[in-house]
Amino acid sequence: MSANKNSGSSMDGGGGYYCSVPEFYTGAEVFLTGGTGFMGKVLIEKLLRSCPDVGRVFVLMRCKQGKTPETRVRELTNNPLFETLKMKNPDALNKLVPIFGDCMQLRLGMSERDIDQLRNVSVVFHLAASVRFNDPLKDAILTNVLSTREIFEICKGLPALKAVVHVSTAYSNPEHKHMEERIYPPKADWKKMLECALQFDHQVLNILTDKVTNSAPNTYTFTKGLAEQICLDYQDQLPLVIFRPSVVVNTIDEPLVGWIDNLNGPSGMLLGAGTGIVRTDLLPMENRVNTIPADISIKALLLAAWQRGTKEQTLREDFLPVYNSAAEYEHSWQYKKMLDCGKANMTKLSFTRLLWVPGGSVTTWRLKYYVMVLFTHILPALLIDALCLLTGKKPFLMKIQRKVFLAQASLRYFVYNQWIFETKRFRSLRNELQGDDISTFSWHLSEEKVDQFYFDCWLGVRRYLLNDPDETLPKAIKKMNRLILIDRIVKAGFALLVLYLLWRSSIFHNLETQLVRHSR
């Protein structure tokens, strides 16, 4: 069979039929949770753009009174990420169908009528999760565990189902520093934990948190690990896949270079440091953080469902593939390189909303860190908030610094530990591609591309988190230069003041010595 440009169909390497990725999704109805989140948006955009013949795409959304489904979809797609799709195929957005519900409720809070709408769904992506590390245990269980069980129960009633992709995290079992692409032993019984969350209130579960989470650093990793055990229990009832992204960051290529819409991970660090708000942290400079560009992870996510629904469809009923969506160690981000890149870019890609000149330093000495927090975070925040009150403005900086301190504390376990992720199965997804699928769904990371990515991430934070148009760069650079001059004057003035005080102190000391001698 010759290759077909529309479907991408061909003979595979073994002489069998090759079902292209767009062909697999042609006419397929898709249901996803977490569609309004960071990865969810990238998934929807890529699916509609690269698989234009896909059927309806049902997106679970929370109910907002007074807003029509059309309004909710417009809110979802009212983002620069969708501009390319709107130019090339604007009708594709008509395939989005909002389903009102709540992942923290039984049956996902969906009505029977809405569940009935899903009867022809063949592919399900479960991305919904709370990524807050400090969530109360009850909330984390309801969001990450209950939602997983409920969506699997719904999936059992879908006769056309071909693939269910559960999005977990590469840190679901963080006690294992070498993370293989397999299921690890449970840390607790998910059924009992879910029963406790449904039965007991927040106060009771908060008391029990430290005991029941055992070695888990927070409720997020603990409950994501529990959710994987649910997959294990349902593996003989559903065509399941476990997909584990590491730290998902800006897009590297498509549809926009450097796009980002949340402050999680390195993007939050760049924003805080680049605006002059964050000036210190406890950070081992030689350690690395494993990051994966959002568009690469989403390509692999779509391929995991394609693989499960085609080549792996006839495998044994208890087959449960696990993919670690992570970068190779040499392509992970070293903290020292991140900071060096930030220093190099702070004048070239200055932000318009600068509080002060970016600067400061990091340390691994806790005493020094707390002293620096006091003098570079807390005291300036108190001073600026006091000035705000005196001028009739609302104080803001102390509140931000409190969030910064808590965020740094919640990340400390991950900053001070390093992991090696096995990615053989993850990388094999791109090796299965043929024809047009290679250019559309494959990926390649080189050292040069990763170096450019540091720059693109900074630019992405500027463009998409701060909404600074590129035209504002000259104005921002001028502001940065002014602040640099003021910063130098302030530092020089402070140094002169210290020297003056020391000089005065020495004069008084000499005068006192002379008086003592004279009195004798």
Check whether residue 60 and residue 121 sit in a common domain. Answer: yes
| pLDDT confidence of residue 424 | 95
Q: At 29, which CATH number? A: 3.40.50.720
Percentage of the residues of the chain whose pLDDT score is greater than 70? 93
Check whether residue 386 and residue 499 sit in a common domain. Answer: yes
Residue 6 lies in a domain: no
Is the pLDDT confidence value at 3 over 90?
no
| Mean pLDDT of the chain, nearest integer | 88
pLDDT, tens only, 90-105 = 999 999 999 988 999 9
Mean pLDDT on 217-246: 94
Question: 21 falls in which pLDDT band (50, 70, 90)?
Answer: very high
Final residue before a domain boundary, out of 463, 483, 498: 463
Residue 402 lies in a domain: yes
pLDDT, tens only, 301-329 = 999 999 999 987 776 566 899 999 999 88
DSSP string, 40-72: HHHHHHHHHHH-TTB--EEEEE---TT--HHHH
Question: 19 falls in which pLDDT band (50, 70, 90)?
Answer: very high
Mean pLDDT on 2-23: 63
| pLDDT confidence of residue 388 | 94
Q: Which domain holds residue 481?
A: 336-417+469-506
Mean pLDDT on 56-70: 83
Check whether residue 222 and residue 146 sit in a common domain. Answer: yes
Residue 511 lies in a domain: no
The whole-angstrom separation of Cα 158 and Cα 171 is 31
The whole-angstrom separation of Cα 146 and Cα 76 is 25
Amino acid at the residue 161: L
| pLDDT confidence of residue 75 | 86
| pLDDT confidence of residue 5 | 38
Highest mean pLDDT among 5-9, 139-143, 358-362, 444-448: 139-143
Give the 3-state secondary structure of residue 420: strand
Residue 269 lies in a domain: no
Question: 503 falls in which pLDDT band (50, 70, 90)?
Answer: confident
Is the pLDDT confidence value at 6 over 50?
no
Mean pLDDT on 355-365: 89
The whole-angstrom separation of Cα 272 and Cα 261 is 15
Question: 337 falls in which pLDDT band (50, 70, 90)?
Answer: confident
Give the residue carrying structure tokens 């996803």. Answer: 32
Residue 9 lies in a domain: no
Check whether residue 444 and residue 352 sit in a common domain. Answer: no
pLDDT, tens only, 227-238 = 999 999 999 999
Check whether residue 181 and residue 72 sit in a common domain. Answer: yes
Check whether residue 254 and residue 396 sit in a common domain. Answer: no
Is the pLDDT confidence value at 117 over 70?
yes
Number of domains within the chain? 2
The whole-angstrom separation of Cα 85 and Cα 46 is 9
Check whether residue 374 and residue 441 sit in a common domain. Answer: no
Is the pLDDT confidence value at 252 over 80?
yes
Is the pLDDT confidence value at 434 over 70?
yes
Q: At what angle do helices 294-309 and 424-431 cross, to 10 degrees?
A: 80
Is the pLDDT confidence value at 8 over 80?
no
Q: Which of 438, 439, 443 is nearest to 18 (CA)?
A: 438
Tell me how far apart the terminal alpha carbons of the chain are, to the nearest angstrom: 113
pLDDT, tens only, 157-177 = 999 999 999 999 999 999 999
Phi, psi values for residue 74, rounded to 5°? -65, -40
Q: CA Rg, the chain, in Å? A: 27
DSSP for residue 487: H
pLDDT, tens only, 375-410 = 999 999 999 999 999 999 999 999 999 999 999 999
Is the pLDDT confidence value at 7 over 50?
no
pLDDT, tens only, 446-481 = 777 877 888 888 889 989 998 999 999 999 889 888
Q: Which of 126, 414, 85 is nearest to 259 (CA)?
A: 85
Check whether residue 57 and residue 167 sit in a common domain. Answer: yes
| pLDDT confidence of residue 18 | 87
Is the pLDDT confidence value at 2 over 50?
no
Check whether residue 224 and residue 116 sit in a common domain. Answer: yes
Higher pLDDT, 49 or 4: 49
Check whether residue 483 and residue 449 sit in a common domain. Answer: no
| pLDDT confidence of residue 311 | 85
Residue 90 lies in a domain: yes
Q: Which of 408, 404, 406, 388 is nearest to 396 (CA)?
A: 388
Check whether residue 445 and residue 477 sit in a common domain. Answer: no
Check whether residue 116 and residue 230 sit in a common domain. Answer: yes
Residue 279 lies in a domain: no
Which of 75-89, 182-196, 420-434, 504-518 shows the lowest per-residue confidence on average (mean pLDDT)?
504-518
Residue 194 lies in a domain: yes
Higher pLDDT, 214 or 88: 88
Q: Which of 234, 249, 244, 243 is nearest to 305 (CA)?
A: 243
Amino acid at the residue 388: C
